[in-house]
Amino acid sequence: MILVRLSNRLRVSFVAVLATIVFAVFGSMSAAQTQSANVSGFWDLKTPTGDGNFRDAFFDLKQSGESVTGDAIFGPRHIPIADGTFRDGKIHFTVTMGRTPRTRVISYDGTLQDGKINMVSQAEGREPTHGVAEPSKPEAALPPPRLPIPALHEVPDNHLARTPPMGWNSWNKFAGKVSDEVVRGVADALVSSGMKDAGYVYINIDDTWEGPRDAQGNMTSNTKFPNMKALADYVHSKGLKIGIYSSPGPKTCAGYEGSYGHEVQDANTFAAWGFDYLKYDWCSAGGIYKDDDMRAVYQKMGDALLATKRPIVFSLCQYGHENVWTWGDKVGGNLWRTTGDISDNWQAMSRIGFSQFDIAGYAKPGHWNDPDMLEIGNGGMTGDEYRTHMSLWSMLAAPLIAGNDLRNMTEETKSILMNHEVIAIDQDPDGKPVKRISPADDTAMITVRPLRGGAYAIGLFNRGDQPQKINFTWAQLGIAQPGKIRDLWKHTDIPSTAPDGYAATVPTHGVMLLRVSAK
């Protein structure tokens, strides 16, 4: 018994000693491992977008002691990281996006575990997003090889958009939050609000509808859009038309799947789903093609759309590069963006709108300059500013693509978007160009546009910060014999004017829009 007890005791203490040794060895090994763990290398951070897709960001990191340096790689942009540390298995660094003064800092905080980094990224003022970074190779961040481009030719006219297209687009209001439900709701509202009767017919889905390609390389929609064909059928059942969005690059501007190398296949998919309009946005194509390849690249999709035999309006979006107004029609374009993106404020809207007069002569029935979509009703401008927006776009014969939440419009927004008399200027069947009479930098801007049947539209714009009197003579506008004069915002006829001209006081950032009938 004693022997047994002793040996038991011995056994117990032996086990304890062994355990201590094992713990000491392995414990110190794992401490050493953590210490020697190193985040140097090339990482691919996949962040779920919440609709079945992942967004990739790449990091090329170098660790020295506890300090981490390197680059963040977002598409073609390589941005040095700052404040990089790796301590106790935790990594931290920041990336500053954009250029001064409009910079945005994103902070990254992660934990290294089993060779992966669980990462939380957070841009200033935004919700944090979670993703997982895995070891990768620099090749993964490179754009695919450049595909050959076709020889130039003239794509035959599709005979669509004889007047500037009218409708709605999801981007300005909804951006990444567009969904099947939103699109159906907006289609319903377009009809019930009277917008359809006013001429708005296209319901256009912008970026972030895209899912991954299937095994055959066909585009699919993501979880926000369960069935594109059914959605198109629904929009058609309301007597409306429906539009979709893609890019000639591998990725869209929001980082979703683009049509690169699948142009014909995608045109066929869009036609099979029943789409009537395609906005084709340059985005990541800039990382593959040269700027002077643009015409050929857009021609490729122009040909592909025509070959589907479905009438599909072709909307070019490459921000006005390469004087697109001189060749947009030749690639089958019905409209082409002439500038960068609009936003919902006076500075952006007026900068874009008042920069368009010199190229107005390039627009014609079937082929229009597109100074971007409307912001009316989104809340960032005054009523006068939105009336200027609507009037200016109409004087320019620009597409009228509303960008607000049509399910929820104030009476003032409705009165601006559905001003039939202003819409009639935009939609004048002759599509003749507006002329600026005042010097380009004048705050009082007098513009005139000939309409069908010898009438004229006259826009008096006040870009200044005080109300001001704007006057003109008929001779100045080239109008020999003015007929009846109508105020298109007050919806009244102007009883009489001085025989040689007219004067009006126009509010700050406001407009007076007149229609002068033929005598």
Active site residues: 281, 341
Q: How far is CA 337 from the centre of its chain?
A: 11
Distance between CA atoms of 345 and 325, rounded to whole angstroms?
A: 26
Q: Which of residues 149-178 bind ligand GLA (CB under 6 A)?
A: 171
Q: Which stretch binds ligand GLA (CB under 6 A): 2-10, 123-131, 247-255, 379-387?
A: 247-255
According to DSSP, residue 449 is labeled: E
CB nearer to ligand GLA: pick between 155 and 254: 254
Smallest separation (angstroms) from ligand GLA to the CB of 206: 5
Binding string, residues 387-406; x marks residues near ligand GLA by CB under 6 A: --------------------
254 binds ligand GLA (CB under 6 A): yes
Q: Which stretch binds ligand GLA (CB under 6 A): 118-126, 132-140, 252-260, 421-429?
A: 252-260
CB nearer to ligand GLA: pick between 253 and 395: 253
Distance between CA atoms of 325 and 361, rounded to whole angstroms?
A: 9
Tell me which of 121, 136, 252, 391 binds ligand GLA, using CB under 6 A.
252
Give Rg (Cα) of the chain: 30
> Residue 452: which residues within 8 A CB-CB, separation 6 or more?
428, 429, 430
206 binds ligand GLA (CB under 6 A): yes
Tell me which of 71, 341, 412, 487 binds ligand GLA, using CB under 6 A.
341
Cβ–Cβ < 8 Å for 68, 143:
no
Smallest separation (angstroms) from ligand GLA to the CB of 342: 8
Smallest separation (angstroms) from ligand GLA to the CB of 284: 11
Distance between CA atoms of 382 and 245, rounded to whole angstroms?
A: 30
Token pair belonging to 142: 């490179």
CB nearer to ligand GLA: pick between 70 and 258: 258
Q: How far is CA 455 from the centre of its chain?
A: 36
Distance between CA atoms of 335 and 163, rounded to whole angstroms?
A: 11
CB nearer to ligand GLA: pick between 254 and 485: 254
317 binds ligand GLA (CB under 6 A): yes
**Total number of residues shown for the chain:** 519
Whether the CA torsion 18, 21, 25, 31 is positive or negative: it is positive
CB nearer to ligand GLA: pick between 253 and 516: 253
Binding string, residues 403-432; x marks residues near ligand GLA by CB under 6 A: ------------------------------
Q: Which of residues 73-102 bind ligand GLA (CB under 6 A)?
A: none
Smallest separation (angstroms) from ligand GLA to the CB of 394: 20
Per-residue 3-state assignment (H helix, E strand, C coil) for 82-125: EEEEEECCEEEEEEEECCCCCCEEEEEEEEEECCEEEEEEEECC
Q: Which stretch binds ligand GLA (CB under 6 A): 145-153, 185-193, 250-258, 493-501?
A: 250-258
Distance between CA atoms of 413 and 383, rounded to whole angstroms?
A: 8
Nearest to 124 by CA among 95, 99, 153, 100: 95
209 binds ligand GLA (CB under 6 A): no
Question: What is the distance in angstroms between the CA of the first residue and the CA of the last residue of the chain?
Answer: 130
Residues forming the site for ligand GLA (CB under 6 A)? 171, 206-207, 252-254, 281, 317, 341
